[in-house]
Chain A
Amino acid sequence: MSLELSMHTPPEVPLEAELLTPDRTVGMDSNAVSGIAIQHGNRQVTVGDFFTVKGKGEGELHLEGDLSRVKHLGSGMSSGSLYIHGDVGEHLGAGMSGGKIVIDGNAGSWVGPEMSGGRIIIKGDAKHLVGSAYRGSAVGITGGEIYIHGNVKNETGHGMRNGLIVAGGNSGDFTGVNMLAGTIIVLGEMGIRSGAGMKRGTIISMHPTEMLPTFSYNCDFNPIFLRLMLRALQSQNFNIEDKQITGKYQRWSGDSVEMNRGEILIFRE
């Protein structure tokens, strides 16, 4: 049996619910979960003030309702599964180290910032700074996987050091900016200035994009690792055509203002 929370009162101002994670609620009954402290603006309230709680904490947590003003859900979680049936607010899975988060709807900005492990799956769109560093920090995610079936916006994978980010739709500007390593795959179109300041790492896009003047074209090739990756994504219902699996990719290296050891791969029909 899992824990099921459904929102009965919409918040007037943002709710912050970092304690609502599947691992922290293990062993709790519905009363205990109702008593967990969450933050409503500047007031401390409890889960029960906004959610009806059913079930028992056994590592699987379901939330439903319009959670677009609920922030920090799944923050710091290390195991278990969190399912959100609806839209969700900012800082989803911030700093998580393990476990799985699945969102039916859309997510706000800062999905999985500075995460080190685990998996986030979003069926809809997300906004800015997916899998990124917070301001001032040079290092974004250091591990884990983020799969977004819809679009993402700016600074996806900012400062990423390891892990995988996949966007089924388009990305905004500065995809993979200042990336240190890791992989970003954008199946739709990328905005401008992808890979700016990247040191290492790989950005893959299925559509031509405007390259920064500090990237240089190397060759066309058919990377084997990509075949494996794209097949795996296909099995997760990402829309990937066979020709993208078998076809050739332009390889660009950059960013020359940094170490020039990053690469951007562009599918070329």
Chain B
Amino acid sequence: MADNIRTVKHATCTFCGCVCDDMELTVDMDKKVITKAKNACVLGRAWFAEHHIEDRPAAMIDGKEVTVEEAIEEAAQVLAGAKFPITYGLSDTTCEAQRQAVAITDIIRGTLDTTTSVCHGPSGLAFQGVGESTMSLGEVKNRADLVIYWGGNPAESHPRHFRYAVTPKGMFIPNGKKDRTVVMIDVRKTPSAPVADILIQIKPGKDFELLWALRAKVKGKKVDPKIEEITGVPLSTINDLVERMKNCRYGVLFFGMGLTMTRGRHFNSGALLALATDLNEFTHFVAKPVRGHGNVTGADNVVSWQTGYPFGVNFSRGFPRFNPGEFTTVDTLSHGDADAALIIASDPASNFPKAAIEHLKTIPVISLDTKQTLTSKIAHVAFATATYGINTTGTVYRMDDVPIPLRPAFDSPYPSDEEILTAIRKRVHELILSRRGARGATGEAKVASKQVL
């Protein structure tokens, strides 16, 4: 019986974008394991239970163990010497680490991108095109009497999403789920289907057509009756949905990557956001992408406030430029542009398109990850880092842009992403300034001490 047990209340699960902060963790401080995670879902329980300290070197160069300092020096030399270095990942780390990563990329004049670009990046582009009527999740709990999920499977990807949007009793929804109508729109009957009052199965790849028809119907415009055949959704169902949307008190459209990753991409998300906007002529209506990894929303926020743009940012010219399709990681890799890569808390080597992975294997990669991945295996410099939320403090943003502080359970022998990145940032700054032969070389000490750079 271990007696060195600690309880951490109000801890935060950073596995998915729900970022549930009501965890109660029981921690065996001797074994350094979390033995119980009260309130966690199936994903959260695994997230907490499986995190123990692995016995692997904190830093490696070309597969050989080195000191962290040596690895930092090598990483800084590679990054400062590169002509088109890219920084990628960042969704599974703290905002504090993300801030350092953007600083590094600014200093080395590299290209910065996050996993947003292969997740809800298209929704970000759609947002820039049409805007968005949106909300914090508590508004859905308190007010939403119509909840529509489109192209997502929260039961498996975000198992506790329903606790924000379907089941809870709220201020104006005293009976919880009984007071709401839940609609699920998808190409297949997913494990999320049982929660729905209305299930609409749509032909694959026809989301845009259905959204466009709904927009037209909401505006009272004529729609080609062939829509039924095209989308596989009966006209009566479409009409019924339109009436429900216009007549609800507070409606919400949640949408997943069934929209962003399919043909049409940002136009699919854009059509959905436009539909929610249109509905505000009749009632209060909001929409929200169901974002993925723990702190991908934090990455969007940090990159936006530091550069003005949410992802796909290039600093080659000494200031940020934004162009998805040019400065996003799948593109910089598959076009063969990148000549070095700093990959933080992400594994492009296992899930990117083949052409991108092939290029990644030809350039020096610096990786920071809590576990071994295909990316850390091919890395020139690989750091093992502490896990955010379990071993480190910091800030993460929930999918609705609400920031939440982390309460770690136990220490890790590995440094945090923030510590490694801060050290790399300081060193690349020295290297770049000395290359420029700048008077700023004396400025570095001052600047660093003021914590701005």
Are A and B in contact, CB atoms below 8 Å, in the complex?
yes
Q: Please determine whether B128 and A90 come into contact, CB atoms closer than 8 angstroms.
A: no
Q: Which of B188-208 contact A (CB under 8 A)?
A: 208
Chain B: interface secondary structure? loop
A residues less than 8 Å from B227 (CB atoms): 213
Q: Which of B115-142 contact A (CB under 8 A)?
A: 125, 128-129
Q: Please determine whether A135 and B323 come into contact, CB atoms closer than 8 angstroms.
A: yes
How large, as a class, is the contact surface on chain A? 35 or more
Given A177-B267, A193-B264, is A213 in contact with B125 using a C-beta cutoff of 8 Å? no
Q: Please determine whether A128 and B325 come into contact, CB atoms closer than 8 angstroms.
A: yes
B residues less than 8 Å from A12 (CB atoms): 83, 339
Q: Considering the complex, give the chain A residue whose CB is closest to the CB of B271.
A: A196
Q: B389: CB under 8 A from chain A?
A: no
Q: Which of A21-29, A35-43, A141-149 contacts B (4 or more CB under 8 A)?
A: A35-43
Q: Please determine whether B337 and A136 come into contact, CB atoms closer than 8 angstroms.
A: no
Q: B216: CB under 8 A from chain A?
A: yes
Count of A-B contacts with CB under 8 A? 94
Q: Please determine whether A257 and B125 come into contact, CB atoms closer than 8 angstroms.
A: no
Q: Please determine whether A39 and B317 come into contact, CB atoms closer than 8 angstroms.
A: yes
Q: B72: CB under 8 A from chain A?
A: no
A residues less than 8 Å from B209 (CB atoms): 212-213
CB distance from B40 to the nearest CB of A (A): 38
Q: Please determine whether B324 and A135 come into contact, CB atoms closer than 8 angstroms.
A: yes
Q: A257: which of B108, B128, B219, B224 is its contact (CB, 8 Å)? A: B219
A residues less than 8 Å from B267 (CB atoms): 174, 177, 193, 196
Q: B322: CB under 8 A from chain A?
A: yes
Q: A75: CB under 8 A from chain B?
A: no
A residues less than 8 Å from B85 (CB atoms): 42
Q: Interface code A174-201, partner B: CB below 8 Å = 1, 0 otherwise?
A: 1001100000000000001100100000
B residues less than 8 Å from A41 (CB atoms): 82-84, 316, 339
Q: Considering the complex, give the chain A residue whose CB is closest to the CB of B263.
A: A173
User: Roughly how many angstroms separate A181 CA and B317 CA in the complex, as a whole number?
Assistant: 34
CB distance from A113 to the nearest CB of B (A): 10
Q: B230: CB under 8 A from chain A?
A: yes
Q: A222: CB under 8 A from chain B?
A: no
User: Roughly how many angstroms separate A14 CA and B83 CA in the complex, as a whole number?
Assistant: 9
Q: Please determine whether B125 and A214 come into contact, CB atoms closer than 8 angstroms.
A: no
Size of interface on B: residues with Cβ below 8 Å to A: 39
Top 5 A-B residue pairs of the complex, sorted by shortest distance between their CB atoms: A41-B83, A42-B109, A13-B84, A256-B221, A41-B84
Chain A: interface secondary structure? loop
B residues less than 8 Å from A206 (CB atoms): none
Q: B47: CB under 8 A from chain A?
A: no
Q: Considering the complex, give the chain B residue whose CB is closest to the CB of A109.
A: B325
A residues less than 8 Å from B326 (CB atoms): 90, 109-110
CB distance from A210 to the nearest CB of B (A): 8
User: Roughly how many angstroms separate A193 CA and B210 CA in the complex, as a whole number?
Assistant: 12
Q: A221: CB under 8 A from chain B?
A: no
A residues less than 8 Å from B215 (CB atoms): 214, 257
Q: Considering the complex, give the chain B residue whose CB is closest to the CB of A42.
A: B109
A residues less than 8 Å from B325 (CB atoms): 109, 128-129
Q: Please determine whether A213 and B230 come into contact, CB atoms closer than 8 angstroms.
A: yes
Q: Interface code B221-256, partner A: CB below 8 Å = 1, 0 otherwise?
A: 111101100100000000000000000000000000
Q: Which of B216, B227, B322 has the most CB of A within 10 A?
A: B216
Q: A216: CB under 8 A from chain B?
A: yes
User: Roughly how many angstroms separate A114 CA and B324 CA in the complex, as a whole number?
Assistant: 17
CB distance from A92 to the nearest CB of B (A): 13
Could you list some 25 contacts between A and B, CB below 8 A? Answer: A13-B83, A14-B84, A39-B316, A39-B317, A42-B82, A42-B109, A42-B110, A109-B325, A129-B325, A134-B323, A135-B129, A135-B322, A135-B324, A173-B263, A177-B267, A192-B263, A193-B267, A196-B212, A212-B212, A213-B209, A213-B227, A214-B223, A215-B224, A257-B212, A260-B221
Q: Which of A251-267 contact B (CB under 8 A)?
A: 256-257, 260
A residues less than 8 Å from B316 (CB atoms): 16, 39, 41-42
User: Roughly how many angstroms separate A135 CA and B128 CA in the complex, as a whole number?
Assistant: 7
B residues less than 8 Å from A13 (CB atoms): 83-84, 337-339
